[in-house]
Structure 1
Amino acid sequence: MKLTTVSAVQLLAAVAFLQPASGASNSSSKAPTLPLSTDSTFNFDFLIPLGLALTGGSDISPVLSVANNVAAGNMTSYYYEFYKLANYTKKQAEDPVNAYDPINVRDTWFSTSNYFRRADFLIHQNWSNPDILTLWAEQTSAFNKAIAALPVPGKRIRLPAKKGNFTVEAIWYGASTNKTAKLPTLVVGNGFDAAQEDSYHNFCAPAVLRGWNCITYEGPGQNTVRRYQDVGFIPNWEDVGIPVVDWLYETKSDVVDKDRLAILGNSFGALLNLRVAAFDPRIKAVVAIDGIWDFYTSAIAPIPADLVPLFEAGKQQEFDSKMLEARDTNQLSTTAAWGLDQGLWSFYTHSPFEFLTKAKEFEVSDFVKNITVPVFIGNAEFDVFVAGQPARLKQALGELGTLHAFNGSAGYHCQTGATQEMVRAFFAWLNKTFPKPVKQS
């Protein structure tokens, strides 16, 4: 039985909102950008490292060379080409001639780290694959060398959760060496798959340039915590985000303007970080890139139509068997296959049934009444599966919500490849929301 009865739009959109690598699809026949692969998922995935070039996280031609060499839909090919590029770039970073130029050191290590993360991206089907750990050790080491070479070096911190048996992994980026300058501060949390190292390039580098402190963090189900603590996503995400705000209050009160403290959630992270704001009144504004209402709707969408009734009827054993068979025999699209791999891995389960059941626990309606601060809501034109979700979030928030349309080439999920337009839009909103304090004469 061939389990490919859903439409191409359903398959491509299925996990579109989960993170800026999980797919973006155009509802019309014309793509908003020049295709880099005949596989639409790979096309989108190549835009991710290209987008990081804006802040020193990659070089353009090497990524285009990878795109040229990767066989469409071949996950092994994708891994291999980025792995080669990562090691090639690492060798350049280690060249002693670069040691005399801190910008060379910084950018080359940033690119090395990015390429190792790309090589890791599609290999989570087999949890025992040693590359899941070795590639992450490489990317972390490279990234640490890069942030050590920033004008204000970045700092990794580990924060014990006050509830739950896990430790929050975070990175602090100060915007000034002035130890008494109280500056606006942005807390950044990702979602389904992207790393906090990606968040530096997409959000923190632009924030620091604008005079904002920035801190990124990861919790259960996310890259570092999932790998080294063996814990999957939890719905009570306030237990992850509140310790980060506690740390800011306890250790950075001299440099954090508490009246200008915002939290940003990227992709699935938009839902997670809205929840943090709902339970922590110290957060004064939220940026939701993009506006997500519920996780389950997206998680169920790629499931072949003839298998959905099995899940809905609670037939776990039969549902799991048929889903895993479809994956093992390559009957799923690249997007659906990757979404299943990442869903099982990040929710720490080998059961597709359990993954989807857990997905039902993540919905903004559960806590939206507790949100009392302004929210910027991104609404990407070509993120077809979440069409309507940002508007639904806006409707629920009423005057607290600002819906911002990202169209055309900025219309991919989370504005992938259009970082400049994205940060320009939400920082303009933040500056309006948080006017600069009037200096007392």
Structure 2
Amino acid sequence: MSSEPVVNLAPSTAATRRSLLRVGVLGGTGTVLLGAGGVGTGIAQAASAAQATPAASAGAPALQGLFTQPDLDFDTLFAFGGTGYGSAEFGELVTAVNAINAAGASYQTYYDTFLPLATRLDRQAGAELAAGHRVSARALYLRAASYYDLCLYFIFGTTARASEAGAYAAMQRCWDLFCQLSDSPFEPVRIPYEGSYLPGYLLRSDERARRRPTVILNNGQDAQNVRMWAFGAAAALERGYNVLIFEGPGQGSMLFERQAFLRPDWEKVITPVVDYLRDRPEVDRDRIVLSGSSLGGELVVRAAAFEHRLAAVVADPGFLSLWVSWQALEKEITSVFEHGLSKQEINALWQQKFVPALSETQRFDLVKAAEPYARDALLAGRAGTVFDDLYGLGTTLMRFTVADVAARVSTPTLVTVYDDDELVTPAAGQGAQVYRLLHADKQIVTFTEAEGAQEHCAPMAPRIRNEVVYDWLDGVL
């Protein structure tokens, strides 16, 4: 890994595995349709601009041999990465991958393969628990939760799409049972929030009555509690930290069951979390850390600009702006916002020209990417359709930026960058910009392909990522 910031603001043209909107989601077809007839003068100008924008090129996957469909590859790599922490079993994954390919890799065959595996382990865990085999039951529930999570992510591409909330509930039930069976206290908590609560878990390495440094693991756009076990929680417990895993608006049950959506003013979420932790007798009030994963890398910097009671912040990765990534990845779609069109004109262009050109896979990509931000996207995904309000989505995404607030952060901050990061685009440029804007004590680290820690959030190398993050935190605290 490198600790020297490298600034390169040229947009990436690599193919994405699971993007905010996937690269080239319209392929070459969208640009042709945009010029096929106008629905107003302003829309015709936007269509002309879109035609002038070359389509992003599709590159080969960095890891060959899983699936030909890149987003299936990417999500499965996280499961492989979790094997070192027990959240998946290598042989189970290899067997599932082979079965999916034999059936013809698709969202449906992926779901149809991992769902029976998750269900079988879930039932086996119950039998082991009934027989008094607590350790085996705990391990099985963890893996079942992980495999249910794989099903959940791709459910909009299947015939089970309307059962999204139920798929989340199955995953969450297994995660909860894993926590209940822990030898150390893994406590379900409710954090007071705007007249209601945020659900979460406070994990402690033992039951000794002492105040410890505590890491808030702030998830991103579409990972679940079980993913955070390998990507931060287990490593923190090994080092004697407490861990708080929580679900904010747009995440987990807040999204799937309560239909609360991501908000850009994330300090309104984190300040209640900090308030809650400072009242806990197990927490050292002066050593509360906020670590954000994926989109969480943007959310935590935004929060730390206003919440100054934190001891350290980890932006993993450094993420300047959602809209910058969308502009790099989806030039045709975002270009319609550049010509002063009204909400009505943008939505008419979207509904009449873009949406009819989408394939089934492209519809999945778009709706899944938009789901945490808008109710119509969530409901469209469950119905097998595409949301109508592109204007509302775009103007919401534009608000997710730290460009105007990063300089206010007074907390020591670690910024990470990943080689071949196809979600934070351009990766080196966004991370370096966040780093440059910070006036607090800071460090920037790049995880590299040479060490197997490339791609967004190092799906294949959580231990490498965790070692760097927690060694830095040990030094700061």
Structure 2-normalised TM-score?
A: 0.79
> For 1:273-284, what aligned pairs fall within 5 Å after superposition?
273-284=300-311
In 2, are the aligned partners of 1:184 and 1:257 still within 8 Å (CA)?
yes
Indicate the residue corresponding to 2:25 in structure 1: none
The structural deviation recorded for 1:166 is 5.4
> For 1:182-261, what aligned pairs fall within 5 Å after superposition?
182-250=211-279, 252=280, 254-261=281-288
Alpha-carbon distance between aligned partners in 2 of 1:339 and 1:283, rounded to the nearest angstrom: 36
In 2, are the aligned partners of 1:52 and 1:201 still within 8 Å (CA)?
yes
Query: Equivalent of 1:371, from 390, 394, 409?
Result: 409
Indicate the residue corresponding to 2:176 in structure 1: 144
Indicate the residue corresponding to 1:9 in structure 2: 14
In 2, are the aligned partners of 1:113 and 1:143 still within 8 Å (CA)?
yes
In 1, are the aligned partners of 2:188 and 2:201 still within 8 Å (CA)?
yes
What letter is aligned with 1:318? A
Alpha-carbon distance between aligned partners in 2 of 1:128 and 1:36, rounded to the nearest angstrom: 24
Query: Equivalent of 1:324, from 355, 380, 383?
Result: 355
- SS of the residue corresponding to residue 188 of structure 2 reads strand
In 2, are the aligned partners of 1:166 and 1:229 still within 8 Å (CA)?
no
The structural deviation recorded for 1:401 is 2.3
In 2, are the aligned partners of 1:311 and 1:319 still within 8 Å (CA)?
no
> For 1:62-77, what aligned pairs fall within 5 Å after superposition?
62-71=92-101, 74-77=106-109
Alpha-carbon distance between aligned partners in 2 of 1:90 and 1:203, rounded to the nearest angstrom: 24
Deviations 1:56-94 (A, max 9, x none): 211111112222222576211221111121112112212
Alpha-carbon distance between aligned partners in 1 of 2:81 and 2:368, rounded to the nearest angstrom: 24
Alpha-carbon distance between aligned partners in 1 of 2:123 and 2:18, rounded to the nearest angstrom: 38
The structural deviation recorded for 1:177 is 0.5
Structure 1-normalised TM-score?
A: 0.85
Indicate the residue corresponding to 2:397 in structure 1: 359
What letter is aligned with 2:320? W
Q: Are 1:287 and 2:314 counterparts?
A: yes
- SS of the residue corresponding to residue 215 of structure 2 reads strand
In 2, are the aligned partners of 1:124 and 1:342 still within 8 Å (CA)?
no
Indicate the residue corresponding to 1:52 in structure 2: 82
What letter is aligned with 1:119? C
In 2, are the aligned partners of 1:190 and 1:267 still within 8 Å (CA)?
yes
Indicate the residue corresponding to 2:293 in structure 1: 266
Decide whether aligned partners of structure 1 residues 9 and 337 sit closer, same or farther in structure 2, where only a CA change above 3 A counts: farther
- In structure 1, stretches of 5+ residues that fail to align are 1-5, 18-26, 435-441
> For 1:126-141, what aligned pairs fall within 5 Å after superposition?
129-141=161-173
The structural deviation recorded for 1:178 is 1.0
Alpha-carbon distance between aligned partners in 1 of 2:181 and 2:271, rounded to the nearest angstrom: 29
Q: Are 1:176 and 2:206 counterparts?
A: yes
Alpha-carbon distance between aligned partners in 1 of 2:20 and 2:177, rounded to the nearest angstrom: 33
Decide whether aligned partners of structure 1 residues 41 and 261 sit closer, same or farther in structure 2, where only a CA change above 3 A counts: same
Indicate the residue corresponding to 1:21 in structure 2: none
Deviations 1:395-441 (A, max 9, x none): 1115622110100110111011101100000111111111xxxxxxx
Alpha-carbon distance between aligned partners in 2 of 1:15 and 1:144, rounded to the nearest angstrom: 29
The structural deviation recorded for 1:218 is 1.3
Q: Are 1:390 and 2:428 counterparts?
A: no
- SS of the residue corresponding to residue 262 of structure 2 reads coil
- SS of the residue corresponding to residue 152 of structure 1 reads coil
For the pair shown, the structure with the greater C-alpha radius of gyration is 2
- SS of the residue corresponding to residue 366 of structure 1 reads coil
What letter is aligned with 1:116? Y
When the two structures are aligned, how many residues end up with a matched partner?
410
- SS of the residue corresponding to residue 414 of structure 1 reads coil
- SS of the residue corresponding to residue 186 of structure 1 reads strand
Indicate the residue corresponding to 2:120 in structure 1: 88
Q: Give the % identical residues.
A: 22
Report the aligned-residue RMSD.
Answer: 2.7
